[in-house]
Structure 1
Amino acid sequence: MNLLAVPALALAPNASLAGFLLFLERIGKGLRTPVRDALLAQAGKAVGHGRAFGVHEFLDQAGAFLGPLWVALGVAYGGYRLGFALLLPMALLALFLLRRARGLEPSSPETPKEKRELLKAFLPYLGFVALFALGFAHFQLLALHLERAGAAPTLIPLLFALAMGVDAIFALLGGLAFDRLGLKALLPVPFLALLATPLVLLGSGPWAWGVGVALWGGALGLQESIVRAGVGRLGGGAWAYGLFDGGFGLAWMIGSLLMGALYGLSPAHAALLSLLAEALAFLPLAFLLRKA
C-alpha cells in the first residue's frame, strides 16, 4: 500500500479516487513504520542502534531530496500523471529489495513477563516523546507563518530544503554520538525544538527564519534517528515501536491542533505552547538519565 499507492495516482480518474489512494498510502506507512524500526533495532544490536537509525534517516532524506526532483522532471515533460508514474520503478525495486530481506525478522519475541518489565522503563520514555511531539511545530504551520510574514514564495521551499539537509546531517552525526553517549545524546532534542519554533514564529527576516528552520530540521533529524534508537536501546521490539509511533503520532496530532488554534490568536501563543511542552519534556528525560 505504501509503495504502490502513489504511482497509482497516475491512473486516478478523479479526485475521490486520488484521495482514497493517499489514504491507503498513509495506512501503509502506519503499518510499515513499527516493523521497519524493529528490524533496524535488530540490526542495531550488531552495528550500534545510533548508527543503524542514523544511516537510515540519512538515506531516507537523500531519497526525500532526489525523489521530488525526479517527479518534477516527469511533470515538466508530461504533466502530473507522468510524474507519478515515474515513481513506479523505484517502488518495484524497493519491493524487490524487501523480498531479498526476508529472514531478518527478530526470531525470539519477548515473553509477557519481559514486556511488563520493559513497560516500566518505557513509560517515562514515552512521556518524553509525547511532550516533545506536543510542542514540535509542523512545518506546514511554519510555512503558513512565513507566507503571512512576507517571505518570498521562492524562499519557503528553499528553507524546507535547508531543513532536510540539516536533518540528514544531524541524523547521521547524532546516531554516531548516541552509540557513544547513550540516552544522554537525547538532551539536544527538546532544546533544539524549544529554540526553533519561537525563532520562526517570533523572529523577523531571512536570517532569523533560516536559523529557526535549521534548528527545526536538526530536531527532526535527531527525532527520526536517536529518539527511535532509544526504543531499541531500552530493549523494545516491534510492539514497543508500535506503541512509540502511535504515541508520537497522537501527541503530534493533538499538539498540531492546539498550536493551530493558538496561532489563530497570535503567533506568540503558539510559540508559548512549544516552549512549555519542550521545557516539560526535560523532566521525564532527566528521570531516564538518572536511572540509566
Structure 2
Amino acid sequence: MIKIEIKKELHGSNGVMNLDVNLDIRSKDFVALTGLSGSGKTTLLRSLAGLEKAQGIIKVDNEIWQDEKEFLPVQKRKIGFVFQDYALFPNMTVLENLFFVNKDKELANHLLEITELWELKNRLPNSLSGGQKQRVSLCRALMNRPKLLLMDEPLSALDPTMRIKLQDEILQLHKEFETTTILVSHDPSEIYKLSNRVIVLKDGKIVDDGTAKSVLLKTSGSAKFSFEGKLLDIIKVDVIYVAIIAIGQQLVEVTISSNEAKELRVGQDVRVSTKAFAPTIHT
C-alpha cells in the first residue's frame, strides 16, 4: 500500500496553484494519472520519486519515504522512473546503461530478451530508434526491481504502431515484476488498455477517481459513441452546413443545422456523439 498525503505550491501559467493530493494506492495496481497540462501530474510523480520536495507524508508499505522529520533521498527509494526523453547515457551501450543501475547480468539479459533488444545490447543510444531507446529506458527502470514504477508520458513521441507494441511490453513487465505502476498519459486508449484505476487531476486537486470506463466513457443515455475534438471550420454547401472537426489524428465531416452553425465557433473544443445515424455536436 502506498499512502500519499502531500501539498505543494506551484506557479503555473495561470498563477499560483496548490497541489493538494490525498490518496491510497494498492500494491501491484496500475494507475493512470491524467488531466490538463499544468494540473500537477508531473510534480506529483517527481515528489514521489524524491526529485522535488513537498509538504506531507509519503509511505510505501511500512517504510516512510517522507514525513515532517524524514526525507528519503531519491537513490534510497525503490523506484524506477521512465522519462519522455529517455534520459539514457549517450556514451554507454545499451547493456552498460542497464548495468549502471544494477550489475545483475541475468536480469539484464532477461529484460533485453523480453523487449527484443538482445541483439542491440552493444549499441550506443544515438544509433537506436525512438522506440528502441524507450525500451532501454524501461528496462533500466526495472533493473533495481522497483516497488514503484513511475512513467511520465513515455510513449507520447512514438508512432501509433510502436506505441501499441510498447504498451503490450509495459503491461507484460508490470505483471511479471508485480510493481505498483503510475503512468501519466493523455491517451484514452492507452489508459483504458493499461490501467485498472484512473485518477484525474485539475488545478492540483483530484476531481475523478475510478476505473477507465467510469472515468473516460462520455456517452450518456442512448448515445452510441462520443468523441472529443476541435472545430476547425464550418463550410456551407448548397443549403447545408458541414463542420470539419479534428479528432485525434483524423479529420471528420459532420452535417449540422443552420442554428448549430450560428452557435458554434471555429477553434472550440466540441463533442461529437450519435444515437443512431445522426451525429450531433456539443461544445
> What TM-score comes out, normalization by structure 2 length?
0.22
Structure (1 or 2) with the greater strand fraction: 2
Structure (1 or 2) with the greater helix fraction: 1
